Structure 1
Amino acid sequence: MERHQVAIYLAAMAAGGLLGVLAPGAGPGLEHAINPVLGALLFVTFLQVPAAELVRSLRDGRFLGAALVVNFVVVPLVVAAMFVFLPADQAVRVGVLLVLLCPCVDYVIVFCGLAGGSRHRLLAATPLLLVAQMLLLPAFLYVFLGSGLADVVEAGPFLEAFLFLIVVPLALAWALQAWAARGGAGGRVSAAATTTMVPLMAATLLTVVASQVPEVGDSIADVAAVVPFYVAFLVVMAFAGKGVARLFRLGVPAARAVVFTGATRNSLVVLPLALALPEPLAVAAAVVVTQTLVEVLGMVVYVRLVPRLVPAARGV
């Protein structure tokens, strides 16, 4: 499954789209399944980050500095340049902001590894990136939306997402790591859990797409209008990520990891936030899911092009 995971993810999204079209009534039920499936996926992701490795990663100043700069300095500037050209619909704008301002923490590790990037560095930095984006996202939204932020976004869903999608999975993962360190049953359970990464990712993509296809409805024009922005973002961030990696004088694997973390966004984790928005802003969730569809296809291209953009022979 790991060798064919890209094809599996594409097939899962296609199946989700077909299910959403053929059984639109299942959408509300599938929405309730998003958080449990996503929580399980993040648990398995965190399980691959030993607590000791996380502590060591915090000492990798240059890589962490590059990852933070590309995600929380460069990306907001790129989004700001795009923001004035976005459709005027507030729901569309909120959806784009939610998804583009948050770095990915799940399948980016897979695609980074396929392109020869330092997936271990990126994996160890995942909890830090998650915490940073949850702390900074409200501030970024305030900058872009101004005083209207309070009418759009409530603090409750943010706190709930942080607790159930970050704190709980991370705590459970570290508890299982401690059990596994003693050997015996704990080690077997941990080993079995790590083999579920690809199926859980496929299940998450299928559930997300199937639940949101029926929601698009009359908003298809607004949703389609953001596709060029998502494509442009992928193009710009490929070169911006390389520039940041060069600035921090990173080696080739680390530089490729910076390119991937700058380009991939956290659509799966921010989707619950979009789903919690008031009814007039309901289309924001579909805007977020659309980014997932564009990005996964973009990652297939990235896997081939990033090694050429950051070649091993010449470094960065």
Structure 2
Amino acid sequence: MRSVIVWGERHQVALYLAAISAGGVLGLRVPSAARPLEIAITPVLAVLLFATFLGVPFPAIGRAFRDGRFLAVLLAVNFVIVPVVVFGLSRFVAQDAALLAGVLLVLLTPCVDYVIVFTGLGGGAKERLLAAAPILMLGQMLLLPLFLWWFVGVELVRTVELTPFIEAFVWVILLPLAAAGAVQYAASRSRWGRSVEAVAADAMVPLMMLTLAVVVASQVHGVSARLADLWVAVPIFLGFAALMLPLGAVAGRVSKLGVPARRAIVFSGATRNSLVVLPLALALPASFALAPLVVVTQTIVELIVMVAFVRLVPRLIRTGEIS
């Protein structure tokens, strides 16, 4: 069993691509599976984040929360640099209100869940991103209406419900974090707690594969049905990732952060909160019916990009560089 786990960790990128492909095939061949799989996204993601949080010592989270320079760079990248990039890219779909709404909703909101997993896989400071998650969530809740007002107008702002932000934060961040804390506490006092930690660490690759497959399988059929309308958004999402990679790297380097922190900045700047804003898009009026599919399209594109980033970011920001 140990040799299988080691093999999986060594070939994890290929396995993630296989999981995305398998999810795509399942979603296209069995459209009726989309709804139950969509319901499964939140619990599957919560289990993945629980396993991730178990691998982050809670004292490290406390230290990261007091890291003012990292937090300042993280906030500047996500709430200053990203909006400028998004405004420029969104001009390519400014003539279509539904496309524009979907692009803005998903690209203006930084990810607070599986970005932590990908950051860890890419050798980044995942404990720092975990500590910053509440601040990023609060920041996007407060600033998203303001950005939408600036970029679109007051009509779209009035239709946005922020309740899904709160629900997602509770189910995907707070509860898994509390459970991980309880297990870490038990691990310091009992054998069963240490056993749970070991099992969770060994299950990271399968859990990530399951998450990727479930997300893609639940959404790919809806995207394929409107592919002709959605195709224009794909270059925007690819362009966003391509721009945020060097911009995040430069921001981290100029701020003289260490290598793991700079990698974390890159992953945070490029990864968006699609699974949380999807309910926001679904709550828009019927005239914006395409917006949720735009968000889903970004999810599929981003998952593929993140698998590439796991290999690319460590090569771009290498251990041993002068900070």
Other structure's SS at 1:2 match? helix
- Change over 3 Å in CA distance of 1:110–1:277 after alignment to 2: same
TM-score normalized by the length of structure 2? 0.85
Q: 110-119 or 220-229, which moves further after superposition? A: 110-119
Give distance in 1, aligned partners of 2:176 and 2:247: 32
Q: 2:83 aligns to what?
A: 76
Q: 2:32 aligns to what?
A: 25
Q: Does 1:268 align with 2:275?
A: yes
How far the C-alpha of 1:32 sits from its partner, in A, is 1.4
Matches within 5 A, 1:163-178: 163-178=170-185
Q: Does 1:201 align with 2:242?
A: no
Matches within 5 A, 1:279-298: 279-298=286-305
Q: 2:229 aligns to what?
A: 222
Q: Which runs of 5+ in 2 are unaligned?
A: 1-7
Q: Does 1:95 align with 2:84?
A: no
Q: Is the 8 A contact 2:161 2:280 kept in 1?
A: no
Give distance in 2, aligned partners of 1:131 and 1:173: 22
Other structure's SS at 1:265 match? coil
Aligned pairs, how many? 316
- Change over 3 Å in CA distance of 1:208–1:306 after alignment to 2: closer
Q: Deviations over 1:3-36 (max 9, x none)?
A: 2221122111111111111111221222211122
How far the C-alpha of 1:82 sits from its partner, in A, is 1.6
Q: 1:252 aligns to what?
A: 259
Q: Does 1:231 align with 2:234?
A: no
Q: 1:86 aligns to what?
A: 93
Q: Is the 8 A contact 2:124 2:263 kept in 1?
A: yes
Other structure's SS at 1:154 match? coil
Q: Deviations over 1:80-99 (max 9, x none)?
A: 12222225333322322232
Q: 1:190 aligns to what?
A: 197
How far the C-alpha of 1:146 sits from its partner, in A, is 2.8
Give distance in 2, aligned partners of 1:38 and 1:274: 20
Q: Does 1:140 align with 2:152?
A: no
How far the C-alpha of 1:208 sits from its partner, in A, is 1.5
- Change over 3 Å in CA distance of 1:16–1:246 after alignment to 2: same
1:46 is aligned, of 46, 50, 53, to: 53
Structure 1 counterpart of 2:190, one-letter code: G
Give distance in 2, aligned partners of 1:66 and 1:261: 11
How far the C-alpha of 1:263 sits from its partner, in A, is 1.6
Q: Is the 8 A contact 1:130 1:166 kept in 2?
A: no
- Change over 3 Å in CA distance of 1:27–1:55 after alignment to 2: same
Give distance in 1, aligned partners of 2:111 and 2:144: 14
Q: Deviations over 1:17-61 (max 9, x none)?
A: 111111112212222111221222222223333332211102222
- Change over 3 Å in CA distance of 1:278–1:173 after alignment to 2: farther
Give distance in 2, aligned partners of 1:253 and 1:283: 38
- Quote the sequence identity (%): 56
- Change over 3 Å in CA distance of 1:83–1:192 after alignment to 2: same
Q: Does 1:16 align with 2:14?
A: no
Other structure's SS at 1:103 match? coil
Q: Is the 8 A contact 1:110 1:119 kept in 2?
A: yes
After the TM superposition, which parts of structure 1 deviate over 6 Å for at least 4 consecutive aligned residues? Answer: none
How far the C-alpha of 1:267 sits from its partner, in A, is 2.6
Structure 2 counterpart of 1:251, one-letter code: G
TM-score normalized by the length of structure 1? 0.86
Q: Is the 8 A contact 1:208 1:289 kept in 2?
A: no
Q: What's the C-alpha RMSD, in Å, of the aligned pairs? A: 2.7
